[in-house]
Structure 1
């Protein structure tokens, strides 16, 4: 459902079960690109405040991501403007919104939860026997993207262990934002593979749903930022990995280690996490080089195939994040998404994909009803 509130536009999806926790995803866009950053920031925060008070009363933010056009000049001003009592994880990344504005916000919200801090600097909440842990904008100083990635993953493993969890057993989703991705992604891949091997994350076990995409921190010396989501209390039987072998090849075949998608069953709902997905075939080859329209259609087809394995479809998805390498493709892609998904919260940002031939990539997450009495409710 889309709500209008100039000088902003707020797009909201709702998952409302008969009883229990309600889930919402909202994306807040600025509609007046001519405003200064401070004016856009004020309008966005006012729109978010209005959303909480008038549209989603009783909901609590569990994760936020701010997309900035110029992190070096905007991050400190954003942080200074945020309420001091903000408890949820708050990711900040330079991935310019391609509608010409300076800032946008994606936020996940839920009812009947109390967000708080956990050991190791993680934030989240405990509900019905599960502990949901989010982390945002983790960085490490290091001499290269590979060095920074290795430090990030080892540090995150320690943070999880302080809460009784591990990467292999509890982490469901990661995001790696890589500055100068065309040159730095290889280091990220090599370091991730090494850490995962040490943690028994292998082709014979499983990996983690992930997006590795262009993006940067306010500090130019930081090559890699990392966000992550983990859940304590889940059992292996609740987690299923999505492959869509008719459309996509296993990622390890071209030397990377992430799952194409992951779904998790609770007693009353299923969560799906679709990794960054591009126009690729079952042999790992780029489909439709140089044609962003055809790549968009193939990308959708691939995501649909992954969702089909989870007994889900696009109607179950809560929000889309779309990444473009070339800002000149924005109008074409925006029109395609608007025609097919007019009611889905969507943001399109400038963020090169990890292979130059991929002009577009998307990720999504969603929820559907799935009564399974053998598992605890969410």
Structure 2
């Protein structure tokens, strides 16, 4: 993975690039507002201007396939952002209140590719085609059902129907979900119950497999929305291309403590291996929180767990395209930022305020990685 950084007026940009000759290039971009004293509109404009300049110059020819904005106050900021981006809605879009902890009001993660064809589908999914594969991205799905359980159930049922309309299924094609839960300490139990029950109906069980996922605190601009869903599926894979990651020396199967997601998923193509690492915290292989109350040691154990998952996929930290870090307590930001800057100085990353699904976990991270590989049995990405 090649890492580069750029400076624009009032914005900083971090880019990772995976490039293969004649194939699809992949880019992960993190854009941060650089001046926390500016108004929200000024910071938003700085981020949007930096993104436009990056596409025009450094990443000419790349197209966005998924984009997520992290806001400090969605109720007062999301509408202005949507208005500013309406004419250039170029990919699946997610907007979540997870305040960047550098003191700014907005940050942006964008995943881009080259040599692909893209279009918005009528059912709300965003299609990206390349060779034998068709990606289906979804961002910001929500509803206003009575409670978190009903909202999660409706979200998954609707998403299952969206996939069926595209001749796909949740079990065979969905590789990754992100579930954002308002007041996660109170509402996560309903999310877990609904997900477990819907998954059984879709042949997703401990005897088959689950889906890589992050379930984390996050807020929609509408206070009646308790749960939001982002998702990623691919049509064109055969079962042999998908491998689920366990790292049993460090982690236990999630069903042992009542939840249903995979720790990570590796997908093999003819020219690369992509790895999707779920939200990972300081947990041991008995499902217990490790180093309670010590964010420094929790960060170190979290790294060990992620490294074990990546290693199982034949990858390492040097293959990471981006990292998202979630903190429960703003007071831990200085310590965690210092640790991440020292260990991963070039990897595109953002650290946000987002409580993890279990109160004892002070910090969580997720990442995507990619590594060159060759398998003549599969079509290239």
TM range (shorter): over 0.9
Whether 1:345 and 2:353 are equivalent positions in the alignment is no
What is the aligned counterpart of 2:39 among 23, 36, 40?
A: 36
Equivalent residue runs for 1:200-215 within 5 Å: 200-215=203-218
Deviations 1:178-212 (A, max 9, x none): 00000100000000000000101000000000000
Tell me the distance in 1 between the aligned counterparts of 2:170 and 2:262. 14
Off by >6 Å, runs of 4+ in structure 1: none
Aligned to 2:100: 97
Identify which of 75, 78, 89 aligns with 2:81. 78
Q: TM-score, structure 2 length as denominator? A: 0.98
- The answer to whether structure 1 residue 11 and structure 2 residue 21 are counterparts is no
Secondary structure of the corresponding residue to residue 189 of structure 2: helix
Q: 1:117 Cα deviation (Å)?
A: 1.4
Between the aligned partners of 2:226 and 2:88, the Cα distance in structure 1 is 29
Query: What SS does the corresponding residue of 1:82 show, helix, strand or coil?
Result: helix
Check if 1:136 corresponds to 2:135: no
DSSP 3-state at the match of 2:240: helix
Match of 1:178 among 173, 178, 181: 181
Give per-residue Cα distances to partners, 1:22-55, cap 9 Å, x unaligned.
1100000011000000000111110001100111
1:85 CA drift (Å): 3.9
Separation in 2, partners of 1:36, 1:151:
37
Aligned to 1:111: 114
Question: Alignment partner for residue 219 of structure 2, among 209, 216, 220?
Answer: 216
- Is 1:300 matched up with 2:303? yes
The match for 2:327 among 313, 324, 327 is: 324
RMSD: 0.7
Query: SS where residue 120 of structure 1 aligns?
Result: coil
Q: Provide Cα deviations, 1:92-132, integer angstroms capped at 9, x if missing partner.
A: 00000000000000000011112101242100211111110
Q: Is the 8 A contact 1:118 1:163 kept in 2?
A: no
Aligned to 1:266: 269
Q: Cα deviations across residues 292-323 of structure 1 (Å, max 9, x unaligned)?
A: 00000000000000001100001011000000
Q: 1:162 corresponds to which residue?
A: 165
CA distance in 1, matches of 2:129, 2:165: 15
Rounded Cα–Cα distance in structure 2 between residues aligned with 1:264 and 1:341: 24
Match in the other structure for 1:66? 69
> Shift in Å at residue 83 of structure 1?
4.4
Task: Provide structure 1 residue ranges, at least 5 long, that are not aligned to the other structure.
Answer: none
1:335 Cα deviation (Å)? Answer: 0.4
Q: Distance in 2 between matches of 1:353 and 1:347?
A: 16
The correspondence of residues 352-363 of structure 1 with structure 2, limited to 5 A, is 352-363=355-366
Q: Distance in 2 between matches of 1:295 and 1:64?
A: 29
CA contact (8 A) 1:322 1:361 kept: yes
Task: For residue 87 of structure 1, report the CA deviation from its aligned partner.
Answer: 2.8
TM superposition score normalised by structure 1: 0.99
Using the alignment, how far apart are the partners of 2:108 and 2:16 within structure 1?
14
TM-aligned CA deviation for residue 273 of structure 1: 0.2
